[in-house]
Amino acid sequence: MKKMLNFVAAFLLILHCSAIVAADSHSERIRFIYFNDFHSQNLPLKQDEVASSSPLVGGAATLAAYIDLFKQNFDSHVFVIDAGDDYQGSPICEITKGFSQVKILNVIMPDIMTIGNHEFDYGRDGINILIENAKFPIVTTNILDKIRETYVGEKHLIRKFGNIRIGFIGLISNSMPKLTQEENLEGYTFLNTHLAARATIEEIRDQVDLIVVVSHCGDVADISLARKVEDIDIIIGGHSHKTLFKPLIKNNTIICQAGYKGKYVGILDILVDVESKKITKYQTWLEDTFVDNVQPNPLVKHIVDSLENSIGDKFTTVIGHLETPWVRGRREESNIGNWIADAIREYEGTDVSIQNRNGIRKDQAGGDIAVKDIWEIMPFANKLVSFELTGSEIKAMLEKNVAAGTDFMLFSGLRYEWNTRAKPGERIQNISISGRPLQVNTSYTICTNDYLVNPNKFSDAFGLSRAGRTFEYSEQTIREILVEKVKAEKTIQSTTDGRIKIIR
């Protein structure tokens, strides 16, 4: 019965793959297949990471199979787009500094890739591995390599689809200095996205009919770009992990994004009039990459299996058992945030510990915990750092923490109430540390990860000046500390305990 259901699902998928936008003799049909923020999710994962019955999706071989299928079942022009952040998220990517992902991409062969912020997490080594080994075009319109005195990739790309010429530009976020460690960006200059896009569009305007931006800036920044920079027809985006089942339309620009980790592959079919050179029709959708509905790409599967085998069983070793699923939540206390914060405060012995929510990269279903799970939850090689804050600085930091658009901080050793009805400056109430009321003139010891205290990030993270502070760094990475914590506890039942109380 299961085989029959899989056959039916596959048949319906093939029907979906075929052209929806009908062609005529005066038009060109073009299909864009896109993905973003794959984060080295080379193996399939549950669509809902904590639901035991959730179907498997994604994995590199499955993603490649869906791309193949959507290419094969379209009888006109096809162009595959990778909007960046293929690096960071798995042990094999960390160990190879991204080379594992380049090997996989050299089989998938996107027609264009733009670089994401996490491609810089391994510094110049990781960027060089990508640029020197990629067999596909990489376009970085606003990233300059000061050492090589050139763009990191190509400045732009022009391709002809029948009678239609399309110019492609690639952009990375204006927030780059805050998105990775300072030393990872040495030797690179990041140009303003709006200025770089506007200048490049002006440069190639007479050579192309349409402009497509491949953006690793996030959907909010993409909307701003579409509103403020003229002549952009399409933005294929990434960075914010936004699952856009329907495109955003701003200033006549079609904005698309396909979630993250290869859970979906995005399709945008357009019909372009050959005389007016305008898009007259379009259709876009996201396809769930269900593992059971396709045969994995055999070459990609072989590469993934070989890579996983190369690191042995160290990462698959079970080190503990999770009684309750770890769920990150959004802007609220979470059981996994509490557990991590408790673990690092216990290790460092400070009054307070801080863990940023965006640094926790996946939820975890109940059941066995392997070393690999901890590496996927905490893929960054961050180390602990300790410093001091006064009570008044802690209150200011908490006010910053609850402001809209911030990377929400989770704590151990500290409790507070967040009154969402109060005005800014008065939203944080009843702060206590180690069970005692906060003293504004007392200095407290704090520990957190070294990413949050780097010179470009500290003020953004905490709303405080970094000047004049003393920082002490640990030798072990945080994920090593967490692995040892799981081994010591063996059975973990994580809960929330009201340390962040939200009054709505």
pLDDT in tens, 17-57: 555 556 667 899 999 999 999 999 999 999 998 887 899 99
Question: What Cα–Cα distance (Å) separates residue 252 from each residue in 30, 95, 194, 233?
Answer: 18, 43, 17, 7
| Pair 286, 254: CB distance under 8 Å | no
pLDDT for residue 267: 98
| Among the listed residues 5, 87, 9, 73, the one whose alpha carbon sits nearest the alpha carbon of residue 361 | 87
The SS3 call for residue 402 is coil
pLDDT for residue 17: 52
Look at residue 2 and tell me whether its pLDDT is greater than 80. Answer: no
**CA-to-CA distance for 44 and 296, rounded, in angstroms?**
11
Look at residue 238 and tell me whether its pLDDT is greater than 50. Answer: yes
Look at residue 424 and tell me whether its pLDDT is greater than 60. Answer: yes
pLDDT for residue 15: 52
| Among the listed residues 142, 218, 153, 134, the one whose alpha carbon sits nearest the alpha carbon of residue 179 | 218
pLDDT for residue 7: 44
| Among the listed residues 382, 164, 156, 152, the one whose alpha carbon sits nearest the alpha carbon of residue 275 | 164
Question: What Cα–Cα distance (Å) separates residue 502 from each residue in 157, 332, 405, 415, 434?
Answer: 49, 8, 17, 11, 20
pLDDT tens per residue, range 254-286: 999 999 999 999 999 999 999 999 999 999 999
Query: In the predicted model, what is the mean pLDDT of residues 339-356?
Result: 98
**CA-to-CA distance for 390 and 397, rounded, in angstroms?**
10
pLDDT for residue 227: 98
Which of the four pLDDT bands, split at 50, 70 and 90, describes residue 405? confident
**CA-to-CA distance for 396 and 425, rounded, in angstroms?**
8
E-strand ranges in 111-174 read 112-113, 143-145, 150-151, 157-161, 164-172
What are the structural domains of the chain? 2-20+30-309 (3.60.21.10), 318-503 (3.90.780.10)
Any idea which residue has 């620009």 for tokens? 253
Look at residue 429 and tell me whether its pLDDT is greater than 60. Answer: yes
| Pair 357, 411: CB distance under 8 Å | no
| Pair 447, 389: CB distance under 8 Å | no
DSSP 8-state secondary structure symbol assigned to residue 112: E
Query: In the predicted model, what is the mean pLDDT of residues 295-307?
Result: 98
**CA-to-CA distance for 431 and 376, rounded, in angstroms?**
33
pLDDT tens per residue, range 250-259: 999 999 999 9
| Pair 255, 244: CB distance under 8 Å | yes
Both ends of the chain: CA-CA distance in Å?
A: 49
Look at residue 108 and tell me whether its pLDDT is greater than 70. Answer: yes
Query: In the predicted model, what is the mean pLDDT of residues 337-345?
Result: 98
Q: Say how many C-beta atoms besides its own lie within 10 A of residue 41's C-beta.
A: 23
For 106, list phi and psi in degrees, rounded to 5: -70, -10
Query: In the predicted model, what is the mean pLDDT of residues 310-318?
Result: 93
45 DSSP β-pair partners = 57
Q: What rounded mean pLDDT belongs to the chain? A: 94
pLDDT for residue 277: 96
Which of the four pLDDT bands, split at 50, 70 and 90, describes residue 404? confident
pLDDT for residue 458: 95
DSSP one-letter string for 283-343: EEEEEE-BGGGSPPPHHHHHHHHHHHHHTTTTTT-EEEEESS-B---SSS--HHHHHHHHH
pLDDT for residue 9: 47
Query: Residue 427: CB partners within 8 Å, gap ≥ 6?
Result: 399, 402, 418, 419, 420
Look at residue 11 and tell me whether its pLDDT is greater than 60. Answer: no
Q: Which helix (H) or strand (E) holds 254?
A: strand 253-256
pTM, full prediction: 0.92
Which of the four pLDDT bands, split at 50, 70 and 90, describes residue 504? confident
